[in-house]
Amino acid sequence: MAQAVETMDGWYCLHDLRKINWGAWKAASTETRDAALAEFQSLLSNWEEIDEAKTGSNAVYSIIGHKADMIFMILRPTMKELNEAELKFNKSSLAAFTTQSYSYVSVVELSKYMVKEGENSEDNPGTQARLRPRLPKWEYICFYPMDKRRQGDENWYSLPMEDRRNLMYEHSLTGRKYAGRIRQIITGSMGFDDWEWSVTLFAKDAIDIKKLVYEMRFDEVSAKYGEFGAFYVGNILTKDTVPTFLHI
């Protein structure tokens, strides 16, 4: 049997993707829309306080294309708190004008492929910061789920540990070229959702997302063993820009 690699796990994560019923929103009275908007901005203010207190983190973006209109990425210390955050929005007035087009439940994850035997890297402050990240409020987001292939000779889970370690190290070198331009959050979802991992990329320049994903396609770990779901890309939404986004 191939040896399983240990993981370090941090905050629980929900990617909540919403479609807005623009017809119903437009047909609602000005008073109804104003009240829903004010309530939503109050919710965003509460999320900002949680972010500032470092007891969780949040990111809200508008999505381009037909798959969704908005994405909420929510991080919380426990699964219960994650559920409470989701329910808080579901019970809001704005939620009545939306449908959940996709959702993804996972936990922030770091593998121990590069950790030396006997080393307790989980206590490292830098590691803790990566397991409980404060999500960057950069201009662009890209989110997608993924699996490692399990077909015939291309079965990631039957590879020896050393082979997987080398492939992951090669993969990491590509990512390091984009340090400071791309922030990547990896979450694991085995037992939580239909895919094995999700990748969320934050960028200041949208073209950097395209270039990074393209270059990583040539890494053997992606070329031979990567399976990818739908991609969602969008622009940042803040408490102050939400009124313009929802304006009719």
Cβ within 8 Å of residue 26, ≥6 positions away: 248
* Count of beta carbons in the 10 Å neighbourhood of residue 210: 13
Q: 53's torsion region: left (phi>0), alpha (psi -120 to 50) or beta?
A: alpha
169 tagged catalytic: no
Instruction: For residue 194, give the H/E element and its range.
Output: none
Q: How far apart are CA 132 and CA 248, in angstroms?
A: 38
Bridge partners of residue 188, in order along the sequence: 107, 197
Query: Of 104, 144, 178, 225, which is the active-site residue?
Result: 144
- Quick one: tokens of 57? 């983190």
- Quick one: tokens of 60? 């809200």
Q: Do 93 and 32 contact (CB within 8 A), yes or no? A: yes
Which residue numbers are catalytic?
A: 144
